[in-house]
A and B are shown apart, each in its own frame.
Chain A
Amino acid sequence: MPLTGASESIIMKKKLYVIPLFLTLFSIVVIFLSLQLETSPQMIVGDSMQARSFPIFLMVINLMLVGILSFQFYKTYPKEVELEKFPTWSSMLLFLIFYILVTVSGDMFVAIPIVMFLMGLTWGQKKIWISITNAIVTPLSIFFLFDYVLQIRFPRGWLTNIYYG
């Protein structure tokens, strides 16, 4: 059933407060977590602040700013945010795949070419050989640059074990 004018406006109003609500919740959570922090004896802190004071102070300011932001949103409706398309969501999914691959193989140089190749495809590269070449040549070049020039060692895994011995 299509939305009527009234129900559409209620949804719009709800959407309007998603960001301020999220920021408010974030501030409250930080204040709560700050209150759980230990307090130091007076002889250490002296006339200065406890470790919890500064984050609480920040979040109080944040809550005030969120109040002003909500008022601004109420006065002038913010621009609608377009829903993301496939390449954006797929890229975020690829970050997750990267994490899983590194965790499983222990090797960044297994995960990077796979993610680069898939990213190329999801971003519209039609020539597979270009994506494959890019996914192999780039990490290899960076690896040798870091290894020889900058002398940085990477975590050992399936491929790096072969190289490092």
Chain B
Amino acid sequence: MIEALSAMGSVFTDPYLLTLIFATTVLGVIIGVLPGLGATTGAALLLPFTLTMEPVQAIAVLSTIYVSATFAGSITAILINTPGTSAAAATTFDGYPLAQKGEAGRALGIAVVSSTVGGVFSVIVLCIAAPLLARVAYEFRPPEYFALTIFGLSMLASISAGGAVKNLIGGIFGVWLSTIGSERVTAIERFMFGNYDLYEGLSFVPVFIGLFAISELLVQSKMVNKVVETVALKAVKLPTKEDYKRIWKTILRSCGIGTFIGVLPAEGATVASMIGYSEAKRWSKNKEEFGKGSVEGIAGAEAANNAATGGAMVPTMVLGIPGSGTTAIILVGLMVHGLRPGAYLFTEQVEKVYQIFGSMLLANLMFMAMGLYAARVFARVSLVPISILWPIVFALSVIGAYALSQSLIDVWIALIFGVIGFFARRHGFAVAPIAVGLILGEMVETNLQHSLKMYDGQWWMILAQPLAAFFLILAFLGLCGPYLYGLITKHKD
């Protein structure tokens, strides 16, 4: 424990890491306020820049982008009614109306404080829960891992907008993508069409850059000529005593909700903020204020979405199951830098793990300072014309896709997946399930193969393992629960 705490503390005394986290927080806030960019796209674009860094520095950069961009989405949500990230969508419900009443500074102050409390709370939970979960995960064998990944895939049903069935189809497509290349046991080439660049399978980085950054570029091309109305902001105001009295319970509740939702495999900040907001409304004594500039609405959404960031890192680091699109990229970052996610990470690389946690904690404190003192400046960044911004994103995307393997095929893969991602989104299919499916695909197949070998081909023996059965039941309930509940209530009526 002392070793862990000193590792966390070392982040605060390492000048290089401090500078790096400060610079990344500034960058993260800029990425977060630019409509369309967001934490996931930002992390995808920055991943290639971390290649030559030390593992801790690289993951610190990615996780700092994650927490700071998640927070910064609220700045544009409040000032221009456009959430910088999808996680800040719920903040627009009350943030913008409050800003329109001439209280933009107060709205931002509440968002900053709530986000920081949510973020710090979730990092503390991460520090406590991750090692405990790692101890449990240490006992996992292939059947448990197989069942767990199935549970993770089942959670894709609600990972983002698009509808359960569409998300599952996206997830299946992602899993299928993971089968491209040489099969691991038999070395049989699958779906390569004679292209030996694909022998090792599709590289995650170009696929992610395509799905998140390039497809977003095409989506943003629809926004040309869109007029943005801004609300004047003089200075960010810290919440008053009255405000604190009204929001402290909401913040605490949302901290719990956000962290819990984040911990669930494949759930993320967007879902957390929506639930945080609706729960704030449900428990509020001033329900009529919601939608018209309620401070509880802003606090509920913001505390929850930042609390989800730490929560989402738990399954990512302990089980290798990403909690969102951004954590999927962080997971790839861990793998690229030789940190294999899983229980062993917490026994063999404890120091590095806690340095990463420390970086997240520091990033939460840094974005608070930036939010309070520089939100006005950052808000102006959001007005950069898209005809300048997105050509830059294009350049970063193609060069970033090239950088990892220094192969042009990765650039073509990124462009192809950009177009695939765009058409998928055009028809209501979210891209995050494809990304998560791609990551989990290998785990599903490999663990299924090992389980079958363990039980001499008797697949039903997987169900006889208590923990595996538990995860599979959870997966079944996650998929069919809402329909069964609907049927039951209909029958009762």
Give the residues in chain B near A131, CB-CB below 8 Å: 387, 391
| C-alpha gap A40/B398 in the complex (Å) | 39
CB-contact partner of A92 in B224, B396, B419, B450, under 8 A: B419
Q: Is the CB of A125 within 8 A of B388?
A: yes
Q: Is the CB of B165 within 8 A of A108?
A: no
A40-B186, A62-B172, A91-B221 given; A98·B398 CB < 8 A: yes
Q: Is the CB of B222 within 8 A of A146?
A: no
Does A3 lie at the interface of the complex (its beta carbon under 8 Å from any beta carbon of B)? no
Interface centre among A50, A69, A152 (most CB of B within 10 A): A152
Which residues of A, 107-136, contact B by the 8 Å Cβ criterion?
Answer: 108, 112, 115-117, 119-121, 123-125, 130-131, 134-135
Does A153 lie at the interface of the complex (its beta carbon under 8 Å from any beta carbon of B)? yes
| C-alpha gap A103/B456 in the complex (Å) | 51
CB-contact partner of B398 in A33, A61, A108, A125, under 8 A: A108
Does B188 lie at the interface of the complex (its beta carbon under 8 Å from any beta carbon of A)? yes
Annotate B362-395 by CB proximity to A: 1 below 8 A, 0 otherwise: 0000000000000000000000011110111011
Does B488 lie at the interface of the complex (its beta carbon under 8 Å from any beta carbon of A)? no
Does B445 lie at the interface of the complex (its beta carbon under 8 Å from any beta carbon of A)? yes
Give the residues in chain A near B445, CB-CB below 8 Å: 54
CB-contact partner of B188 in A37, A65, A152, under 8 A: A37
Does A74 lie at the interface of the complex (its beta carbon under 8 Å from any beta carbon of B)? no
| C-alpha gap A49/B453 in the complex (Å) | 9
Q: Is the CB of A123 within 8 A of B457?
A: no
CB-contact partner of B415 in A23, A48, A99, A138, under 8 A: A99
Does A28 lie at the interface of the complex (its beta carbon under 8 Å from any beta carbon of B)? no
Q: Is the CB of B169 within 8 A of A91?
A: no
| C-alpha gap A58/B217 in the complex (Å) | 30
Name the CB-closest residue of A to B416. A95
A49-B449, A95-B415, A98-B415 given; A119·B179 CB < 8 A: no
A33-B191, A59-B176 given; A47·B224 CB < 8 A: no
A19-B427, A40-B186, A87-B222 given; A153·B406 CB < 8 A: yes
| C-alpha gap A69/B394 in the complex (Å) | 34
Q: Is the CB of B224 within 8 A of A87?
A: yes
A51-B190, A92-B218 given; A134·B165 CB < 8 A: no
Does A68 lie at the interface of the complex (its beta carbon under 8 Å from any beta carbon of B)? yes
- B interface secondary structure, majority: helix
A49-B448, A155-B408 given; A123·B172 CB < 8 A: no
Count, A-B residue pairs, CB within 8 A: 166
Name the CB-closest residue of B to A18. B427
A44-B186, A69-B165, A155-B408 given; A54·B179 CB < 8 A: yes
Interface centre among A95, A98, A120, A139 (most CB of B within 10 A): A95
CB-contact partner of A85 in B185, B222, B452, under 8 A: B222
A95-B418, A124-B224, A124-B225 given; A55·B176 CB < 8 A: yes
Q: Is the CB of A51 within 8 A of B186?
A: yes
Please give the distance in Å from B244's CB to the nearest CB on chain A: 42
Which residues of B, 448-474, contact A by the 8 Å Cβ criterion?
Answer: 448-450, 452-453, 455-457
Please give the distance in Å from A107's CB to the nearest CB on chain B: 11
Q: Is the CB of B428 within 8 A of A91?
A: no
Q: Is the CB of A23 within 8 A of B176?
A: no
Other A-B contacts than A120-B391, A123-B221, A142-B399, 13 sampled, CB-CB below 8 A, are A48-B457, A52-B190, A54-B448, A58-B175, A61-B172, A62-B172, A62-B176, A69-B165, A92-B218, A123-B224, A135-B391, A139-B395, A150-B52
Give 20 A-B contacts (CB < 8 Å), ordered by A residue.
Answer: A40-B185, A47-B452, A48-B453, A48-B457, A49-B449, A51-B190, A54-B179, A65-B172, A69-B166, A91-B217, A91-B218, A95-B415, A108-B398, A108-B399, A112-B395, A112-B398, A119-B390, A123-B387, A146-B403, A154-B402
